[in-house]
Chain A
Amino acid sequence: MNRIWKALALLASAALVAWILYPAGRRPELTIATVNNADMILMQQLSSEFEKQSGVKLNWVVLGENVLRQRLTIDISTGSSTFDVITIGSYEAPLWGERGWLVPLDDLGADYGYDDIFDVVRQGFSYQDRMYAAPFYAESAFTYYRTDLFGKAGLKMPVQPSYEQIRQFAQKLHDPEHNVYGICLRGEPGWGQNIAFISTLVHAFGGRWMDAGLKPQITTPAWAEAVGFYVDVLSKYGPPGATTDGYNENRALFANGNCAMWVDATSAAGYLLDPSQSRVANTTGFAKAPIAKASNGPGWAWSWGLAIPTSSKRAEIAKQFIKWATSRQYIATVGERFGWLRIPPGSRKSTYEIPAYLQAAPFAPLVREAILNAGYTKSGESVPFVEVQYVGIPEFQAIGAEVGQEISAALAGHATVQQALALGQAEAEHSLEGRFVK
């Protein structure tokens, strides 16, 4: 018995000694929080260059998007100065900028190329015309489709398809016997998962999340039509168990050859065209995101950017890093070092003028167009807010989650579309009443 205690004590002391002796650095340090998307991981890899250049030691905290966002929100809203550089999206940036939680980034220097950034992207990161996050990459949506399957069936995908055409294509190409499903769409509940797609769909049918007075519009006819279409098409021509298919699963399905069509973010393009990651690298075609009634509604516009919390004590060094990571030079370095399919896309106009990139990425012009047309809606007179595939109010995460869950119930056949929308409307109203309104 004594031996066990002695062993434990020895182990504990050894651990303690190791801990104390662990080398502590004397160089200035930056703590960076980022998501584990491919582009950010690349940034982490390349950051050793920045460390050499500047002599700053970088500490990385890498997490999945949802967990990261929760972590960052708690951190920044309580004013805890844990991070120096944070990776946030166009949803949080204006909200947090408004609350004075982020350092404005309008002073990164004349050589930064502010005008080179797409307007819609810059808008997404600004509040009252001050930029609170520097864009790292941006995406919109388009339609991926299998050129081989279309060819075999004698079908042609127009550059601008309509949802009705999509439905017909899905019907003709649905072949579950051979594990090919007509269409893959996001079904997993979440404000950044199924709701991202459904918002775009609703907009295409002429609907909106909120009216000018911030009253939810979920029980309007446009919603009923849009969600009815979604549930109908996905349950008939989609893969089984679609309610657990989010972005990742659908990307895997398409890359594995199981989907004839997929409407989702443009950022999947590089991955799908890479033969080491995708079985359909040579048979993937691109078209614009489908439309229905409204051809000019708000589209899908999402950007990831780097920002600095005001509670950080190393803002100046952080700015250096951000300038480095979001510059034209960085994009060029990635392209030359790792291949042009892997550059962070969609943030700068100049990216779409690089010949090598245009050659490697045939979908690039479509992406550029999609971003230019994404159209942020700034609605409301008394209460301005932004509506794209999300609504730029703090309650949206919860509202989106709740509505997303209800719609997934309809998709799974546990509820009718009417019931799902009615419940979603009730939840949305509940979330907005009594709580503070922006």
Chain B
Amino acid sequence: MRRIRQTRWGLAVAVWAIALGMFFPILWMFLCSFKTEIAAVAVPPKLFFRPTLENYYAVLQRADYLAFARNSVLVSLGSTLLALALAIPAAYSMAFFPTRRTRDILLWMLSTKMLPAVGVLVPIYLLWRDLGLLDTVFGLILIDSISVLPIVVWMLFSFFREVPAVILEASRMDGATQTEELLHVLLPLCTPGIAATALLSIILCWNEAFWSLNLTTVKAATLTNFTASFSSPEGLFWAKLSAASTLSIAPILIFGWMSQRQMVRGLSFGAVK
């Protein structure tokens, strides 16, 4: 009995050490946001210091945080919804009506994601400009949904494959049409998986920096622009950047933590139904 408790405690210590180690850089950044600029780069690094709110004040004064946050929320949600709307029918068809093309389509979808964004920047920029989509939330939603679509399709496809065919057969026997089958049988069954995929997509869109930097200026700029505006090759900014980053990360971190159980439940592959 005692040995088990000892290993239990030994385990707890080990895992806590790992967890704190993983979280430490974020914690350190959070602490730095309350230091003065000099204190932030002091050697040896200060663990104890007099905290100040001047960085947050400076950051919030310099830029309209709420406007950026609003855009981040709109873009993340919008892209996710759009991606889901496109991916669910596609994944459904590929999972239950596989043809020889299925594998090719999936792979091809994935491969398009592998084009580094930098390589396609100018074509997209020109296209967006000609379509009047520059600096619009909708334009950003479009490009972000394209970016996450392959992953969303892939994950939904994997989840749908988990569903035993008998269930769908049963509904078909009962005379359900295809849309009904999709909406009333499949989706409810797979809601955890869909929710998890959605959450993943939201996180990815929230942190997407390249397109929001290049395709927006003022009206559609997101929190990634906000953070980037505090990072400079000419200006000491470390404490302020920490403050700006904390403000950008906080919403998604809290959101992720709250919905973490949903994600864990939904991301079960090979779950026993």
Contact = CB atoms under 8 A, between A and B. Distances in A.
Contact of B81 (A12, A19, A190, A256): A12
Contact of B232 (A19, A78, A80, A248): A248
Interface of B: 36-38, 41-43, 62-63, 70, 73-74, 77-78, 81, 121-122, 125-126, 129, 134-135, 137, 187-188, 191, 195, 213-214, 217-218, 221, 225, 228-238
Interface string A233-264: 00000000000001110011001101000000
Contacts of A4: 191, 195
Interface size on A, as a range, is 35 or more
A110 interface: no
Given A31-B218, A64-B232, A277 B37 contact: yes
Given A31-B217, A74-B214, A179 B233 contact: no
B167 to A, nearest CB: 15
Given A11-B77, A44-B62, A65 B38 contact: no
B237 A78 contact: no
Contacts of A256: 38, 41-43
B122 A74 contact: yes
B235 A255 contact: no
Contacts of B81: 8, 12
A36 B221 contact: no
A160 to B, nearest CB: 26
25 contacts: A12-B81, A15-B73, A33-B217, A35-B234, A36-B230, A36-B235, A36-B237, A37-B234, A61-B221, A63-B228, A64-B229, A65-B233, A71-B214, A78-B122, A80-B125, A82-B135, A190-B233, A193-B233, A248-B236, A252-B41, A252-B238, A255-B236, A258-B43, A277-B236, A278-B38
B233 A83 contact: no
Contacts of B134: 80, 82
Nearest to B240: A36
B62 to A, nearest CB: 7
A247 B234 CA distance: 6
A386 B149 CA distance: 48
A19 B219 CA distance: 11
Interface of A: 1, 4, 8, 11-12, 15, 18-19, 22, 31, 33, 35-38, 41, 44, 59-67, 71, 74, 78, 80, 82-83, 179, 190, 192-193, 246-248, 251-252, 255-256, 258, 267, 271, 276-279
Given A1-B191, A44-B62, A83-B217, A255 B38 contact: yes
B217 A61 contact: yes
B31 to A, nearest CB: 18
A71 B38 CA distance: 31
Contacts of A64: 228-229, 231-233
Nearest to B198: A8
B80 to A, nearest CB: 9
Contacts of A19: 70, 74, 137
Given A38-B235, A64-B233, 14 more contacts: A11-B77, A15-B77, A18-B70, A36-B235, A44-B62, A60-B63, A63-B225, A74-B125, A80-B129, A192-B233, A246-B233, A248-B235, A248-B237, A277-B38
Contacts of B232: 35-37, 64-65, 248
A12 B77 contact: yes
Contacts of B74: 15, 19
Contact of A1 (B73, B188, B221): B188
B230 to A, nearest CB: 7
Contacts of A12: 77-78, 81
A69 to B, nearest CB: 11
B62 A41 contact: yes
Contact of A37 (B41, B42, B235): B235
Contacts of A61: 217-218, 221
B233 A66 contact: yes
